[in-house]
């Protein structure tokens, strides 16, 4: 209940910056449209909507990382957190309160990107329903990264780190190209991170290949739990300090 009350406050804070929210939703849709147009002039299926749309949806979640990290960073810089540390909330309550308002944002991003893909010619299948369920789980990974960055860095630092983070998530996820095209150490490193697993899982779910989802999602869930746990530890340490 305490976390829900805190989440309502954070929802209002997020809505105070509608242009940033709009940018995080419009840019992925524009990129989806641009690369789908490019696919018409390519001799291979790198940017087909069936492969591109799921990856772009996962890419859009990187903006949730930015929203979460910036919100916590601003609260730290304004001493807001110091004032409310006197409340009987635990570190987990605070972080859940920051995370919950981002779930509707993630759902809007999913819907916007998938709706755009349908308009561009991607066929509708009922496999999209379980795929959306996977995307909700994957969104927690990106929220966890935002909680981590916001806990350990200031809002200005989060902005700079995001520029690096968004490049890492796209290059090492196979969003723009198949990782097997490069192979070697690059592909090995990519699959030690969660982003390629997230993209592979969603692509498999949209294609109805559910047997390929389980192992890849284990990587995503494991990373989410670990990163959220580190964020809770760091937040708790800050409260005690």
pLDDT of residue 198: 94
pLDDT of residue 80: 67
Contact predicate 152/72, CB 8 Å: no
pLDDT of residue 174: 84
The H-assigned helical ranges of the chain are 2-15, 18-39, 49-60, 62-77, 80-84, 91-99, 102-119, 128-152, 155-171, 184-190, 194-206, 213-240
Which ranges of the chain have pLDDT less than 70?
1-3, 39-46, 79-88, 241
- The pTM assigned to this predicted structure is 0.89
pLDDT of residue 45: 64
pLDDT of residue 6: 74
Rounded alpha-carbon distances, angstroms, from residue 10 to 79, 86, 102: 15, 18, 9
Interatomic CA distance for residues 158 and 156, integer angstroms: 5
pLDDT tens-digit readout, 49-64? 888 889 999 999 998 9
Going from N- to C-terminal start, the domains of the chain cover 2-239
Query: Sign (positive/negative) of CA torsion 177, 182, 187, 190?
Result: negative
pLDDT of residue 42: 62
Interatomic CA distance for residues 32 and 136, integer angstroms: 20
pLDDT tens-digit readout, 188-239? 999 999 999 999 999 999 988 888 889 899 999 999 999 999 998 988 887 7
């Amino acid at each position: 209940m305490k976390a829900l009350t805190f989440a309502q406050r954070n929802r209002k804070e997020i809505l105070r910056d509608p242009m940033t929210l709009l940018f995080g939703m419009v840019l992925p849709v524009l990129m989806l449209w641009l690369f789908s147009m490019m696919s018409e002039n390519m001799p291979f299926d790198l940017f087909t909507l069936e492969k591109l749309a799921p990856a772009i949806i996962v890419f859009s979640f990187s903006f949730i990382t930015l929203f979460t990290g910036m919100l916590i960073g601003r609260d730290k810089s304004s001493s807001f957190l110091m004032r409310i540390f006197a409340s009987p909330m635990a570190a987990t309550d605070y972080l859940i309160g920051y995370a919950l308002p981002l779930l509707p944002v993630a759902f809007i991003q999913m819907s916007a990107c998938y709706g755009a893909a349908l308009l561009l010619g991607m066929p509708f299948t009922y496999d999209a329903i379980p795929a959306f369920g996977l995307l909700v789980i994957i969104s927690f990974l990106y929220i966890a990264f935002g909680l981590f960055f916001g806990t350990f860095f200031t809002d200005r630092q989060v902005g700079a780190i995001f520029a690096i983070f968004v490049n890492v998530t796209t290059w090492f996820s196979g969003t723009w190209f198949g990782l097997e095209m490069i192979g070697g150490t690059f592909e090995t490193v990519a699959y030690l991170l969660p982003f390629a697993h997230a993209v592979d899982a969603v692509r498999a779910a949209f294609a109805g290949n559910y047997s390929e989802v389980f192992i890849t999602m284990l990587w995503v869930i494991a990373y989410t739990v670990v990163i959220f746990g580190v964020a809770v530890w760091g937040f708790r340490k800050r409260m005690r300090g």
